[in-house]
Structure 1
């Protein structure tokens, strides 16, 4: 059953993630001039984690607050969402991300110095190794989707912990991976700034790795944990 209200919720939620997330990068690295310091990483991590957590509380009851194609695709595969709605979710997420990136450009043109927050591939810390970056993004997305299934999909999960748990995982992911891959775990988060900045190098990595990691997590959580709980409740 198609649900345009949910599509709009996904667009708004993804706008919030990309807007607050990428502007935090411009402020931390360019405006405040701290480069990629510990303080900058903390600010960037807090912005992304808070945006996700708050949007989960705001729109979780409307659309599930996927805010990420690497979440929606596993949800489609495990039949938590219909195919038509699933593709509409992804389109809405990409649209929200693009609009947010253009808003960033309009408000803070200095963002061009950091390509408006787009992830730029494996860092020097990883030795510029693409396979290492692929593994980082895949593993971190695996844990993000694991948390989502276990706190938001699992029927026996404690009530009211969705936002803080998912937002907390996003915060942790950014703490670890901002210095490694730029921290995506979300194709929409990368797509919007890439379109606005014109920086497409390594773009494929931020689609392939999160989607693979998300699918693996979604399938395992669904058939090992979630499905069992659903049967017990019935």
Structure 2
């Protein structure tokens, strides 16, 4: 009887060890490279699709509220679903900033950027297929047509920098920085996007994301002041990364005054 009990205990221990080994299994190449890129492509596709449709078919009475809620809620849902697969960047500015803060490997950066820009193009194609021709043409496929005078361009550029810096800091402090990590990141990022669109929608269109503007620009061949939506968000992301790396990050993330 005692021998049976010992044998049973040994079997249970072996089973527990096997389960522990299974749980601690290193991700394979598919999970490390291919799956994250697919998640970035799919997530960016649906984010751009929802965002474009919300602008193209925007109800006049709703003002900025409709695109603000659509963009913010879409990004919150997608982050919550795919954060454990790819980190849920869906934005070249975020990817560059996350890398600079030590949150990902360099070899994954170009793969993420390609996936995001491809997703932006696919999302714009889906938006065109769903919306009316009249509204699509009026909104330039949601490629942003607000900018007119030179002084307006400067203000729009500043807005894109400042607003992208804010949302990128939320991402970096909520995901990368160990001291301030939070399970509420999807909610926080979504709220920040909503706030930014409500505040800056009539100034720059509140793109904050090169992938968001790239797809619509390709389909409509509308490149007027397009550079603003690359320079602004990327600059804002770099500023946010610098703030976290130099001042706001924890001891592992911060490079100064350790």
Instruction: State the TM-score, normalized to the length of structure 2.
Output: 0.80
**Aligned equivalents of 1:123, 1:148: Cα separation in 2:** 32
The total of aligned residue pairs comes to 222
Structure 1: gaps spanning 5 or more residues: none
1:16 — aligned with what? 46
Q: SS at 1:83's partner residue?
A: coil
CA distance in 1, matches of 2:33, 2:202: 38
Structure 2's unaligned 5+ residue stretches are 1-28
Partner of 1:81: 104
Report the aligned-residue RMSD.
1.9
| Cα offsets for 1:56-87 (capped at 9, x unmatched) | 10111111111101111112223321222111
Q: Is the 8 A contact 2:179 2:250 kept in 1?
A: no
TM-score for the superposition, normalised by structure 1: 0.88
1:150 and 2:150 equivalent?
no
Cα distance change, pair 95–112 in 1 and its aligned pair in 2 (3 A)? same
Q: Relative contact order (alpha carbons < 8 A, sep ≥ 6): 1 or 2 greater?
A: 1
* Matches of 1:119 and 1:5, distance apart in 2: 32
Contact kept in structure 2, 1:142 and 1:217, CA below 8 Å? yes
Alpha-carbon distance in structure 2 between the residues aligned to 1:76 and 1:159: 19
Map of 2:214 onto structure 1: 191
1:136-174 deviation per Cα after TM superposition (whole angstroms, max 9, x unaligned): 100111101111111122213354201000010011010
Q: Aligned pair 1:27/2:27, yes or no?
A: no
Which of 225, 229, 242 is 1:219 aligned to?
242
Deviation at 1:227, TM superposition (A): 3.5
Tell me, yes or no, if the aligned pair for 2:101 and 2:176 is still in contact at 8 Å.
no
* Largest Rg, 1 or 2: 2
